Amino acid sequence: MTTSRKYHITTFGCQMNKADSERMAGILDDMGFLWSEDPNQADVILYNTCTIRDNAEQKVYSYLGRQAKRKQQDPNLM
């Protein structure tokens, strides 16, 4: 039995970012990845943000910090 890899996308910013995230999700779906609501269960984590908005940029740095320890434990995490 093969286990499908999972992905999680968190989007910060405007509607354009949301549209871009939907396109990325479609590509990952086509590649056989499954959506995970929980980023801690995902093999691939994408943070889509816009650096024009300072608040969004600060949030993404916070989210990256949360995953840093997990990345050290799982080098295959993307």
| Total domains present in the chain | 1
Q: 60: closest CA among 7, 6, 17, 5?
A: 17
Q: What is the pLDDT of residues 18-48, one digit of tens each?
A: 999 999 999 999 999 999 999 999 999 999 9
1 falls within a domain:
no
Distance linking the first and last C-alpha atoms of the chain:
23
Q: For residue 18, tell me if it sits in a domain.
A: yes
Domain of residue 26 covers 6-71
Domain membership of residue 78 (yes or no) is no
Q: Is residue 24 part of a domain?
A: yes
Q: Specify if 62 maps to a domain.
A: yes
Dig out the tokens for 51 from the structure: 């650096």
Q: Give a yes or no: residue 77 inside a domain.
A: no
In sign, the C-alpha dihedral spanning 15, 17, 18, 24 is positive
Q: Quick check: is 76 in a domain?
A: no
4 within 8 A of 32, measured Cβ to Cβ:
yes
Instruction: Check pLDDT > 70 for residue 53.
Output: no
